[in-house]
């Protein structure tokens, strides 16, 4: 049985059908005029041999081409791209089945932050009354490592609402190089969670090592096809409308290997995309369609996700402003476009600008978490634990986020209104009004015991104290003390023998000598 | 007359209008001369380039800076004004040279090999142009050798390198090494920037400066330039 996620019964949509068609048609026009600049030779050739008009626009040291993608190619691709995509998992009960027409949301961690935020609590004594002591969180930022990634995967394994894992921390150990980074990030993730693992690829040279590792862990090539425990994300289009040389090659190679892939575009309204909603929508949709079309031309039937990470520019420094309401508007519009094409959608929410866990962080995050979830994207990168515009990851924040997603999931349960329920409660009403106390209290209990009532906020303090962070910290430690099911010893030893470059300190069956 | 036109230049810098096709923030301005037409006209009227710079461009930028501090202006406003000043400086530079006035200097900028992030680098370029420097932007994903070639050919006083990925920061070090190997290291001051790099990293690769944002980029170039002059 795959994971359930949460089905959004009536997804929130902003655009009318007419507006959706307008965006679609504008994107089709963009793909033809101006078309895309391609810095990737092979992609250009693939488009050319399938009937796209191609012209060289190279400068002396930078070969590139203008590619005009005709409508039929896009429509064919939309036809052949699977409407249902399965993402497997080491534990098959953790696999995800996403149908482009069904707004069932799966919540996912994500991004590759450079900074890892350690937390500890220190006692502070009140100056005017030394008998009063409180525990205050202290935050210590540092560069992320591969063992941090193991810990992140471990915690995420135990976060109830988290359905799949994208590595939230960039591994920057001294012995991590471009040539061994991919195998280490995938192994560290796969070995510490039994959920689905998705990541971007750092070096194309590592792709086969990563795929071979996944085959070993899944139990063979066919098994991996049937249960794709890993998948990839590529930003092959750089906004506006440019196929990047290396990430486009990565997409081509991954499609050839038949693994699921997110075709993602991340334009910023105001800098790399028009500031007007219709404009950024037409452009991002064209960019994603271009990627989807390429994926299907490389290999018909490649499982792809419509990947959308649109944001608005911050006005003070032109960084991404995920907290701006417009960013959520664009994301929700993209979900609607993906549904129009019946493709499963990768969307984004939850990113905040604040630098440490706390009240502002939760407010900022929940705003987009709730809104974008309501629109029903199938695969929602909702930034568990991320802070500071995706630059920092903190386990404590991830624990808080999990609690908030539990509330969102609860909220999204279908309405409990049926004739039988109404008849039953009418009976209750008549009974209660006939009693002297006129209270319904006794009817709470069966609801409570059958899990039909939401529980109190798990990190609520006593009285007037705000103990949220301290309580969440306790929960975090408790989750980390629960074991995870690692890859078995025999497979681990084969992985270490056959896949070059994995650091020995990741082998849980060997003494950790270095550490 | 000269005063009027300098006043107009200043006002148009504040409005961030490059030329007559630029509506700035007000559609009503469309068709009226912008900073570039006004600068040409001022020169034709015989106004001295130094006057145009000091009382038109710089005075305008000062007001923009105040509005930015007061949160009345945002970065897009700042960049529009800087762009207008940059265009005016391009017009003025040959005249400065003719009258024997030293220009502020040249800077080559690039995002290093393997890295396609260029929004930050582009902002840095606009602000440096706005501060009066001649900027040659050689693009993103630029090989150390291509950077060396540009430094050799363009002979800039400054080189600005940008990287946004921890995996491409190393190419900044490679570029420094390539400059050394080609005997160019002491011909150019190197400044670096981008989210993953730091002052400390700049020191470790032997760069001359680090800037956390576009404004710091200008400040660091100005301070390196004045150190040079001494
Ligand atoms: C926008 C963006 C993109 C866009 C780039 C668009 C463009 N035209 O540049 C797209 C979507 C194409 C993209 C692609 C990728 N990205 Co990206 N991207 C970002 C993002 C969100 C913002 C960067 C940005 O433009 N900021 C706004 C500008 C204004 O700020 P800035 O660049 O920092 O520049 C300022 C200062 O740093 C300074 N400065 C900059 N340069 C210089 C130079 C000098 C000389 C000086 C003095 C100062 C200076 O001044 C600037 C102005 O104030 C960052 C997140 C982040 N927190 O930085 C991720 C981020 C950098 N990307 C990341 C990744 C992983 C990628 C991809 C590899 C994703 C993939 N799997 O395909 C690809 C990279 C492909 C490649 N080969 O480069 C990671 C990097 C992690 C790491 N490993 O280090 C980040 C940190 C996001 C994350 N947390 O996961 N990305």
* Chain B neighbors of A115, CB-CB under 8 A: none
DSSP code of A323? T
The reported pLDDT for the residue numbered A510 is 85
Does the C-beta of B79 come closer than 6 Å to ligand 1?
A: no
Give yes or no for residue B141 having a pLDDT over 50: yes
Q: Quick check: is A66 in a domain?
A: no
Convert the pLDDT of each residue in A401-423 to its tens digit. 999 999 999 999 999 899 999 99
Does the C-beta of B196 come closer than 6 Å to ligand 1?
A: yes
Verify that A351 and A442 share a domain, yes or no: no
Verify that B118 and B172 share a domain, yes or no: yes
Verify that B90 and B178 share a domain, yes or no: no
* Chain A neighbors of B112, CB-CB under 8 A: none
Q: Quick check: is A355 in a domain?
A: yes
pTM of the model as a whole: 0.90
Convert the pLDDT of each residue in B50-93 to its tens digit. 899 999 999 999 999 899 888 899 999 999 999 999 999 989 98
Does the C-beta of B162 come closer than 6 Å to ligand 1?
A: yes
CA distance A476 to A177: 31
| Cβ-nearest to B146 among A61, A238, A271 | A61
Verify that A205 and A245 share a domain, yes or no: yes
Convert the pLDDT of each residue in B186-209 to its tens digit. 999 999 999 999 999 999 999 999
Average pLDDT score over residue span B106-116: 95
The reported pLDDT for the residue numbered B228 is 73
Verify that A427 and A348 share a domain, yes or no: no
The reported pLDDT for the residue numbered A479 is 98
Verify that B41 and B116 share a domain, yes or no: no
Average pLDDT score over residue span A486-500: 97
Query: Could you give the number of structural domains in chain B?
Result: 2
Percent of chain A with pLDDT over 70: 99
Average pLDDT score over residue span B36-43: 95
Verify that B145 and B94 share a domain, yes or no: no
Q: What do you get for the CA distance between the two ends of chain A, in Å?
A: 39
Sign of CA dihedral B178, B182, B183, B188: negative
Verify that B116 and B64 share a domain, yes or no: no
Q: Quick check: is A498 in a domain?
A: no
Q: Quick check: is A478 in a domain?
A: no
Query: Could you give the number of structural domains in chain A?
Result: 2
Average pLDDT score over residue span A109-126: 94
The reported pLDDT for the residue numbered A451 is 87
Is A460 at the interface with chain B, CB within 8 A?
no
Q: Which of these three, A399, A434, A449, is where a domain ends? A: A449
Q: Quick check: is A41 in a domain?
A: no
Verify that A163 and A252 share a domain, yes or no: yes
Verify that A430 and A406 share a domain, yes or no: no
Q: How far is CA A431 from the centre of its chain?
A: 49
Residues 6+ apart with CB under 8 A from B208: B189, B190, B191, B202, B224
Full domain range(s) for residue B36: 2-98
> Residue A53, CB half-sphere, CA atoms under 13 Å: how many?
8
Does the C-beta of A247 come closer than 6 Å to ligand 1?
A: yes
C-alpha dist (Å) from residue B222 to A88, B104, B132: 56, 9, 10
Is the complex ipTM higher than 0.95? no
The domain that contains A178 carries what CATH number? 3.20.20.480
Which of A20-34, A350-364, B209-223 tops mean pLDDT? A20-34
Q: How many residues does chain B have?
A: 230
Does the C-beta of B120 come closer than 6 Å to ligand 1?
A: yes
Verify that B76 and B140 share a domain, yes or no: no
For ligand 1, mutation pick of A266, A268, A290, A392 (most atoms within 8 Å of CB): A266
Give yes or no for residue A513 having a pLDDT over 80: no
Least confident of A322-326, A338-342, B150-154: A322-326
Verify that B68 and B39 share a domain, yes or no: yes
Q: Which atom of ligand 1 is nearest to the CA of B163?
A: 41
Q: What do you get for the CA distance between the two ends of chain B, in Å?
A: 38
Least confident of A19-23, A297-301, A408-412, B130-134: B130-134
Average pLDDT score over residue span A193-217: 97
The domain that contains B150 carries what CATH number? 3.40.50.280
The reported pLDDT for the residue numbered B229 is 67
Convert the pLDDT of each residue in A333-348 to its tens digit. 999 999 999 999 999 9
The reported pLDDT for the residue numbered A249 is 97
Verify that A440 and A311 share a domain, yes or no: no
Verify that B115 and B211 share a domain, yes or no: yes
Q: Is A47 exposed, middle or buried (0-12, 13-18, 19+ CB in 10 A)?
A: buried
| Cβ-nearest to A318 among B116, B123, B196 | B123
The reported pLDDT for the residue numbered A515 is 46
Q: Give the H/E segment covering residue A367.
A: helix A359-375
Give yes or no for residue B1 having a pLDDT over 90: no
Q: Quick check: is A466 in a domain?
A: no
Give yes or no for residue A60 having a pLDDT over 80: no
For residue B165, report the distance from its CA to the centre of ligand 1, in Å. 7
- The residues pairing with A262 across neighbouring beta strands, listed in sequence order, are A233, A305
Confidence of residue A21 (pLDDT cuts 50, 70, 90): very high
* Chain A neighbors of B74, CB-CB under 8 A: 315-316
Q: Quick check: is A510 in a domain?
A: no
Verify that A267 and A391 share a domain, yes or no: yes
Confidence of residue B96 (pLDDT cuts 50, 70, 90): confident
Verify that B110 and B53 share a domain, yes or no: no
Verify that A381 and A427 share a domain, yes or no: no
The domain that contains B45 carries what CATH number? 1.10.1240.10
Convert the pLDDT of each residue in A217-271 to its tens digit. 999 999 999 999 999 999 999 999 999 999 999 999 999 999 999 999 999 999 9
| Cβ-nearest to A202 among B116, B167, B213 | B167
Average pLDDT score over residue span A75-91: 98
Q: Quick check: is A57 in a domain?
A: no
Full domain range(s) for residue A307: 6-14+82-411
Q: Work out how many CB contacts closer than 8 A connect A with B.
A: 32
Give yes or no for residue A447 having a pLDDT over 90: no
C-alpha dist (Å) from residue B63 to A144, A247, A328, B9, B72: 43, 43, 35, 13, 11
Verify that B91 and B114 share a domain, yes or no: no
C-alpha dist (Å) from residue B99 to A141, A245, A457, B92: 54, 47, 74, 11
* Chain B neighbors of A244, CB-CB under 8 A: 116
Average pLDDT score over residue span A156-179: 96
Name the nearest CA neighbour of A236 among A292, A186, A198.
A292
Verify that A335 and A444 share a domain, yes or no: no
Give yes or no for residue A125 having a pLDDT over 50: yes
Q: Which of these three, B98, B133, B161, is where a domain ends? A: B98
Verify that A257 and A363 share a domain, yes or no: yes
Q: Which of these three, B98, B131, B149, is where a domain ends? A: B98
User: Across all residues in chain B, what is the average pLDDT?
Assistant: 92
Q: Which of these three, B69, B98, B127, is where a domain ends? A: B98
Verify that B18 and B130 share a domain, yes or no: no
DSSP A446-459: HHHHTT-SPPPPTT
Verify that B131 and B85 share a domain, yes or no: no
Give yes or no for residue A72 having a pLDDT over 60: yes
The reported pLDDT for the residue numbered A512 is 54
User: Across all residues in chain A, what is the average pLDDT?
Assistant: 95
Least confident of A65-79, A270-284, B2-16: B2-16
DSSP B83-138: HHHHHHHHHHHHHHHHTTPPP--EEEEEEBTT----HHHHHHHHHHHHTT-EEEE-
Verify that A308 and A440 share a domain, yes or no: no
- Closest residue by Cα to atom 35, ligand 1, is B120
């Amino acid at each position: 049985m795959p994971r359930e996620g949460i089905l959004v019964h009536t997804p929130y949509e902003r655009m009318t059908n007419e507006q959706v068609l307008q965006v679609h048609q504008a994107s089709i026009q963009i793909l033809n005029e101006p078309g895309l600049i391609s810095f990737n030779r092979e992609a250009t050739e693939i488009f050319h041999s399938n009937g796209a008009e191609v012209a060289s626009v190279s400068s002396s040291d930078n070969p590139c081409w203008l590619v005009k993608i005709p409508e039929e190619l896009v429509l064919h691709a939309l036809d052949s791209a699977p409407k249902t995509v399965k993402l497997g998992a080491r534990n098959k009960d953790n696999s995800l089945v996403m149908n482009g027409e069904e707004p069932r949301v799966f919540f996912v961690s994500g991004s590759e932050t450079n900074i890892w935020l350690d937390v500890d609590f220190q006692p502070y004594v009140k100056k005017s009354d030394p008998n009063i002591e409180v525990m205050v969180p202290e935050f210590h930022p540092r560069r992320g490592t591969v063992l941090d990634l193991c810990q992140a995967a471990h915690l995420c394994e135990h976060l109830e609402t988290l359905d799949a894992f994208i590595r939230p921390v960039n591994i920057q150990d001294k012995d991590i190089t471009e040539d061994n980074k991919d195998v280490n990030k995938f192994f560290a993730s796969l070995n510490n969670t039994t959920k689905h693992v998705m990541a971007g690829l750092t070096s194309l040279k590592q792709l086969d090592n990563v795929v071979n590792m996944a085959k070993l862990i899944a139990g063979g090539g066919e098994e991996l096809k049937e249960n794709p425990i890993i998948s990839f994300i590529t930003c092959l289009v750089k906004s506006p409308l440019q196929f990047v040389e290396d990430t486009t090659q990565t997409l081509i190679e991954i499609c050839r290997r038949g693994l699921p892939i997110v075709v993602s575009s991340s334009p910023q309204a105001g800098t790399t995309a028009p500031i007007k909603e219709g404009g950024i929508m037409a452009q991002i949709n064209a960019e994603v369609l271009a990627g989807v079309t390429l994926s299907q031309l490389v290999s018909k039937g490649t499982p792809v996700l419509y990947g959308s990470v649109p944001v608005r520019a911050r006005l003070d420094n032109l960084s991404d402003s995920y907290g701006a309401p417009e960013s959520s508007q664009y994301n929700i519009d993209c979900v609607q476009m993906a549904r129009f094409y019946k493709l499963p959608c990768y969307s984004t929410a939850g990113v905040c600008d604040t630098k440490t866990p706390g009240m502002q962080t939760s407010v900022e995050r929940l705003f987009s978490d709730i809104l974008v979830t309501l629109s029903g994207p199938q695969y929602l990168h909702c930034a568990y634990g991320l802070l500071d515009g995706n630059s920092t990851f903190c386990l404590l924040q991830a624990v808080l986020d999990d609690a908030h997603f539990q509330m969102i999931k609860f909220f999204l349960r279908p309405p409990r209104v049926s004739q039988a329920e109404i008849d039953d409660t009418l009976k209750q009403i008549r009974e209660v009004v006939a009693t002297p106390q006129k209270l319904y209290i006794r009817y709470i209990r069966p609801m409570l015991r059958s899990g039909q009532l939401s529980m109190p906020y798990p990190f609520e303090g006593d009285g007037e104290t705000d103990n949220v962070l301290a309580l969440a910290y306790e929960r975090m430690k408790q989750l980390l003390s629960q074991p995870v099911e690692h890859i078995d010893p025999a497979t681990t030893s084969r992985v270490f023998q056959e896949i070059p470059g994995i650091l020995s300190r990741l082998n849980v069956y060997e003494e950790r000598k270095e550490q | 007359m000269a005063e009027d036109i300098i006043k107009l230049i200043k006002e148009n810098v504040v409005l961030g209008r490059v030329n007559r096709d630029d509506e700035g923030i007000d559609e009503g301005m469309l068709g009226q001369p912008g900073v570039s037409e006004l600068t040409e006209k001022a020169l034709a009227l015989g106004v001295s380039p130094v006057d145009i710079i000091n009382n038109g461009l710089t005075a305008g930028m000062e007001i923009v800076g105040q509005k930015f501090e007061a949160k009345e202006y945002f970065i897009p406003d700042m960049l529009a004004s800087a762009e207008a000043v940059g265009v005016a400086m391009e017009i003025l530079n040959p005249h400065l040279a003719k009258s024997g006035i030293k220009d502020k200097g040249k800077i080559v900028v690039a995002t290093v090999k393997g890295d396609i992030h260029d929004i930050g680098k582009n902002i840095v370029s606009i602000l440096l142009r706005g501060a009066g420097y001649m900027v040659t932007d050689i693009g993103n994903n630029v090989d150390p050798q291509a950077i060396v070639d540009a430094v050799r050919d363009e002979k800039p006083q400054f080189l600005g390198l940008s990287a946004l990925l921890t995996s491409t920061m190393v190419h900044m070090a490679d570029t420094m090494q390539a400059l050394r190997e080609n005997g160019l290291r002491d011909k150019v001051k190197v400044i670096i920037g981008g989210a993953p790099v730091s002052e400390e990293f700049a020191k470790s690769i032997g760069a001359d400066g680090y800037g956390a944002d576009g404004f710091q980029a200008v400040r660091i170039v100005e301070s390196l330039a004045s150190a040079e002059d001494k």
